[in-house]
Amino acid sequence: MTRGMRWDAVVVGGGPAGSVVALQLARGGARVLVLDRARFPRDKPCSEYLSPAATPLLSRLDPELIPEIERASPGRLYGMRVVAPDGCDVVGRFAAPHRFPAPAPFGYALPRTVLDSLLLAAAARAGAEIEEGSAVEELLYDQGAVAGVVTAGRAVRARVTVGADGLRSIVARRLGLRGGGPPRRLAFAAHYRGVADMGDRGEMHIGRPGYVGLGPVGDGVTTVALVLPLETARQRAAALRGGGLTAELARFPALRGRFDSATMVRAVLATGPFAQWSRRAVAPGGGALLVGDAADFFDPFTGQGLYSALRGAELAATTLVAALAAVPRGPLPEATLHPYVAARRSAFAGKWILERLIGVGVGWPWLAGRVVRRLARLPELADLLVGATGNIVPPGAVLAPSTLVRFLL
């Protein structure tokens, strides 16, 4: 133990990324404190679907997690239906007859109030200490390296600070690493009961402008997230927050009539703007790194944020356990954190390109319409693309030039 430092790691944010880093660090023998400004169960604007690749990841983290998720009666999504602005649609399945076997034929979908509480409880079970209602305000420094945080005027010293504090990460902002850029979009998310014709897949409806994602999250509830360009969203924000979301959904041709008997059962939550990212995932000078949305969040269309948060947290924890063992005391030097940067690049480089191509493409309704009509004629290509967004198919299999041209020609 470093003199004056009670904690090996302080994790800022107890969402999926923070919980998984904390769980694995605690398992690795580190003394870990998680600080979250919220009290759990807390909500988070999200379409609330875990890609199928998350299932084996959660199983290896803690064998209790999947049975706990099952007991929460989640939705099960076997694929995605994508609807173009003109109503033309295509369905892609996760388990499909291509050469990439799905680790599970479906992805779970459940309210974030439930999922995030289960993950945080798993971190506590592994030995992490959790402090809710503690907002981090500032970082502490020791000879140029981050050496902990300040919460409610109290200094919490630690050998490494993990910024897992989401889209508007205070850790990334205090490090001066936060950047953002197009497409600038805001999201409005709510829960409805009684939406007509919900099947066992998610749906993405592309509009002029924006798009809406919906899917079953169990117990007859559908989660709905409307994403709009920043300017449009600002003009309509008051109405959308005040119950105008249902009227807004009627602008999407294939949603007309499906909400006639539906009731909103959770108020609208708003978030954004995205895209936001950190120029580096590791603090210059060492002592801190960023995971999950605090590291980067481009756009929700591909529904990969949760898996990326969980997988990125695993990679961060692997680096941190090794670094804490290798360096006996004091804040972790920047060089000891670099394996995390390399591991992230190797795990996510293809995903970063794919989510950018798709995220930008859905902002061009004529292009989206053309691709959807093309996919409707080539179902094996639709399966491949949906498999890639489900983290089953390696992005490289979609990004190969010979495959890319098939989307358009």
Compute the least distance from the CB of residue 357 to ligand FAD, in Å.
Answer: 18
Q: Look at phi and psi of residue 351 and say left if phi exceeds 0, alpha if psi is from -120 to 50, else beta.
A: alpha
10 near ligand FAD, judged by CB under 6 A: no
Quick one: DSSP state of residue 134? -
Q: Which of 25, 26, 31, 36 binds ligand FAD (CB under 6 A)?
A: 36
Distance linking the first and last C-alpha atoms of the chain = 61
Which residues have C-beta within 8 Å of that of residue 213, sequence separation ≥ 6?
A: 47, 202, 203, 204, 205, 224, 225, 227, 300, 301, 303
48 near ligand FAD, judged by CB under 6 A: yes
Q: Which of 5, 10, 11, 18 binds ligand FAD (CB under 6 A)?
A: 18
Q: Which of 75, 103, 303, 395 binds ligand FAD (CB under 6 A)?
A: 303
Residue 183: asked if its preceding bond is cis (omega within 30°), the reply is: yes
189 near ligand FAD, judged by CB under 6 A: yes
Compute the least distance from the CB of residue 97 to ligand FAD, in Å.
Answer: 25
Beta strand pairing call for 145-151 and 79-83 = unpaired
Q: Look at phi and psi of residue 218 and say left if phi exceeds 0, alpha if psi is from -120 to 50, else beta.
A: left
Cβ proximity to ligand FAD: between 123 and 164 the closer is: 164
Which residues have C-beta within 8 Å of that of residue 263, sequence separation ≥ 6?
A: 192, 193, 194
Give the x/- contact pattern for ligand FAD in 147-176, rule: CB under 6 A: -----------------xxx---x------
292 near ligand FAD, judged by CB under 6 A: yes
Give the ranges where 62-198 is alpha helix by DSSP (H). Answer: 65-71, 112-126, 170-174
Q: Dihedrals φ, ψ of 203, to 5°?
A: -135, 140
Q: Which of 142, 203, 248, 293 binds ligand FAD (CB under 6 A)?
A: 293
273 near ligand FAD, judged by CB under 6 A: no
225 near ligand FAD, judged by CB under 6 A: yes
Are residues 352 and 43 in contact, defined by beta-carbon separation less than 8 angstroms? no
Cβ proximity to ligand FAD: between 173 and 338 the closer is: 173
- Which of the ranges 239-247, 289-297, 319-327, 344-352 carries the binding residues for ligand FAD, by CB under 6 A? 289-297
Which residues contribute to the site for ligand FAD (CB under 6 A)? 12-18, 35-38, 42, 44-49, 135-136, 164-166, 170, 187, 189, 225, 227, 271, 292-294, 297, 300, 303-307, 309
